[in-house]
């Protein structure tokens, strides 16, 4: 990956390798991204922001939501989907999340190093991207009369299910 493919990044020295990688495609709401960043720190996960953002990385709301954990977050802002996709070593370990999927995330077998990809808050992931990767598109079951979960909640649910799966194998 060339530095020209990256707008910003922070890669703190970690005592243990990252467990997972979360990619947010064109996130729009800084508070959601800040909360996801905090969750990533707590789960030893990397955060990858992809494409145009609906806020500035320096936005006080972003850092307020992540509180004083932002400096511990391993994050990268990739300028485009193509730039982000260049650095994925195994596309079969990338899972896309959408309410439009018929396959529950309970059916997935998560492994350390997996990627979890979420779309922008107002539109989700691009339909073409979902079609191209339909065998790896998952949903979180929603039982009540809501259209979707908040993206920060969805990321948390998926990360902790992945941790549960890994810990149950040990």
Domain extents in the chain: 17-168
Q: What mean pLDDT do residues 51-55 have?
A: 91
Res. 148: pLDDT tops 80: yes
What secondary structure letter does DSSP report for 104? B
Report which of 159, 142, 145 is spatially closest to residue 24, judged by C-alpha positions: 159
Q: Tens digit of pLDDT for each residue in 59-86?
A: 566 666 655 677 889 999 999 999 999 9
The answer to whether 134 touches 107, Cβ cutoff 8 Å, is: no
Third-level CATH fold of 17-168: Alpha/beta knot (3.40.1280)
- How far is it, in rounded angstroms, from Cα 9 to Cα 112? 22
Mean pLDDT of 19-41: 94
pLDDT of residue 62: 61
């Amino acid at each position: 990956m060339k530095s020209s493919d990256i707008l910003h990044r922070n890669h703190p020295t970690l005592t243990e390798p990252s467990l997972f990688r979360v990619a947010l495609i064109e996130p729009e709401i800084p508070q959601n991204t800040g909360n996801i960043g905090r969750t990533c720190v707590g789960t030893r996960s990397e955060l990858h922001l992809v494409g145009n953002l609906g806020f500035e990385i320096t936005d006080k709301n972003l850092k307020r939501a992540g509180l004083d954990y932002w400096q511990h977050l391993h994050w990268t802002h990739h300028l485009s989907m193509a730039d982000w996709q260049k650095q994925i070593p195994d596309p079969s370990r990338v899972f896309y999340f959408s309410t439009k999927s018929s396959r529950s995330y309970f059916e997935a077998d998560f492994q350390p190093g997996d990627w979890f990809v979420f779309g922008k808050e107002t539109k989700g992931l691009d339909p073409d991207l979902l079609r191209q990767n339909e065998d790896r598109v998952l949903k979180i079951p929603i039982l009540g009369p809501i259209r979707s979960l908040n993206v920060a909640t969805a990321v948390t649910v998926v990360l902790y299910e992945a941790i549960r799966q890994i810990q149950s194998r040990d």
